[in-house]
């Protein structure tokens, strides 16, 4: 591609990404985003469909009934948080922000579609190519909702690949996982009920704050003393609510948290021990504990064959010194649902640039990304398409 076309593509990618970034929509509310994606696919003459009961778009390039089928996936939802970047293209929707880079994930896959269209390659694909733009990755299991609506069927998908913006990696680099990439991500809720009393006379009540504090301390000790130090488990209490004034003991404490593990047996162990801790609190403090574990995403385990294909392709595009293998992360990812059904792999596309101040982590209100990563992502996934179909 000559320099003028590269510049035009970069400008197009930036415009698309910034528009999506300015109009973030959270899980299952991505109506505008869905419409924008559909409009671009229409402009590129790519057959597509939306769904009556869920947001998201499926694009399809169908050239052969019996040819291989490759799917490219992008997640499209934002997070319910206030943006604090101060960027000229910051979110225009109060309380919502693309803080996980899904605006970039969308833009890259749309860029692949545009590049294939501009190069006249869509009609030459000896098989079928799907573009899956799915809602609700941030806790809503949007992948499963689209799987239930047949996005991996008619034609059946052979491989599915995806990328995710990563501020842990510099722009121009990429990270890959041999097989497992992400942990399971369960949630728990705990309500501890005691008896309220005057803060000056706590003996007249049954303070639920003390067992709540004990639970938080016990959780940390439980992981350290029950899980092999060479294994992985994270239990975090992220939400705690109790009381309304300084001199009154509340009668109830509510908390929520997350459980992250890599192996099924560790997942089972942690869930069992948390339940037992709550039972012990009831006996020790005479309170009532209502403890519930909500199943989250399963561990995301990809296919090594697909991962090696992506790694080798990235090495050709980005250079061998700019790609690397990484151990699994304790983050969750609903790409896991696709990987349970078909061969697939997800990778990390670097978007960090210290000189531009693009250094903040995912889910930070200050998160932003180096837009140079968009062109790198497009070039990489475009080459994946060409190499997969041996074009």
Report whether 102 belongs to an annotated binding site. Answer: yes
Report whether 300 belongs to an annotated binding site. Answer: no
Report whether 98 belongs to an annotated binding site. Answer: no
The whole-angstrom separation of Cα 385 and Cα 121 is 10
Q: And the tokens for 82?
A: 């206030």
Query: Which residue spans within the chain are E strands per DSSP?
Result: 47-49, 57-62, 69-75, 128-134, 159-170, 174-176, 180-182, 184-193, 197-198, 233-242, 248-249, 252-261, 288-297, 300-301, 323-325, 343-352
Considering only CA atoms, which of 217, 257, 260 is closest in space to residue 238? Answer: 257
Q: Please answer whether residues 164 and 349 qualify as being in contact, where contact means their C-beta atoms are separated by less than 8 angstroms.
A: yes
Strands 252-261 and 233-242: antiparallel
Buried b / exposed e along 239-258 (16+ C-beta atoms within 10 A): eeeebeeeeebbbbbbbbbb
The whole-angstrom separation of Cα 242 and Cα 261 is 28
Reduced to 3 states, what is the DSSP secondary structure of residue 296? strand
Q: Please answer whether residues 366 and 85 qualify as being in contact, where contact means their C-beta atoms are separated by less than 8 angstroms.
A: yes
Helices and strands (H, E) in the chain, number of each type: 9, 16
Report whether 164 belongs to an annotated binding site. Answer: yes
The whole-angstrom separation of Cα 134 and Cα 113 is 16
Residue 145 has a CB neighbour count (10 Å cut-off) of 21
DSSP structural state of residue 361: P
Report whether 203 belongs to an annotated binding site. Answer: no
Q: Please answer whether residues 356 and 167 qualify as being in contact, where contact means their C-beta atoms are separated by less than 8 angstroms.
A: no
SS3 content of the chain, % helix, strand, coil (to 5): 35, 25, 35
The whole-angstrom separation of Cα 167 and Cα 369 is 7
Annotated binding-site positions for Mn(2+): 100, 102, 138, 164, 363
């Amino acid at each position: 591609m000559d320099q003028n076309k590269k510049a035009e593509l970069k400008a197009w990618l930036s415009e698309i990404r910034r528009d999506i970034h300015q109009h973030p929509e959270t899980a299952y509310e991505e109506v505008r985003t869905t419409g924008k994606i559909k409009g671009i696919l229409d402009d590129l003459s790519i057959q597509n469909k939306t769904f009556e009961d869920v947001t998201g778009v499926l694009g399809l390039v169908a050239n052969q009934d019996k040819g291989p089928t490759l799917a490219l996936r992008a997640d499209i939802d934002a997070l319910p948080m206030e943006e604090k970047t101060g960027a000229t293209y910051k979110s225009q929707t109060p309380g919502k922000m693309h803080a996980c880079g899904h605006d970039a994930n969308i833009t890259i896959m749309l860029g692949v579609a545009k590049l294939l269209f501009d190069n006249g390659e869509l009609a030459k694909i000896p098989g079928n190519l799907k573009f899956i733009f799915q809602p609700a990755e941030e806790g809503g299991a949007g992948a499963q909702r689209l799987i239930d609506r047949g996005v991996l069927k008619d034609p059946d998908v052979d491989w599915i690949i995806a990328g995710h913006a990563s501020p842990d990696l510099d722009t121009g680099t990429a990270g890959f996982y041999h097989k497992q990439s992400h942990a399971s991500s369960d949630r728990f809720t705990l309500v501890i009920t005691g008896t309220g009393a005057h803060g000056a006379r706590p003996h007249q009540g049954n303070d639920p704050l003390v067992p709540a504090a004990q639970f938080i301390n016990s959780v940390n000790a439980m992981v350290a003393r029950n899980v092999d130090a060479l294994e992985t488990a994270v239990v975090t209490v992220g939400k705690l609510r109790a009381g309304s004034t300084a001199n009154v003991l509340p009668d109830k404490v509510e908390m929520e948290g997350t459980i992250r593990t890599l192996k099924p047996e560790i997942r089972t162990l942690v869930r069992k021990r948390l339940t037992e801790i709550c039972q012990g609190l009831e006996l020790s403090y005479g309170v009532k504990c209502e403890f519930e574990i909500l199943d989250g995403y399963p561990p995301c385990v990809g296919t090594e064959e697909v991962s090696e294909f992506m790694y080798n392709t990235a090495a050709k595009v980005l250079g061998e010194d700019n790609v690397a293998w990484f151990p699994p992360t304790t983050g969750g990812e609903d790409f896991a649902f696709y990987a349970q059904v078909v061969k697939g792999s997800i990778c990390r596309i670097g978007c960090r640039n210290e000189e531009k101040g693009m250094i903040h982590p995912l889910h930070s209100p200050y998160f932003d990304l180096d837009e140079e990563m968009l062109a790198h992502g497009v070039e990489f996934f475009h080459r994946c398409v060409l190499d997969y179909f041996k074009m």
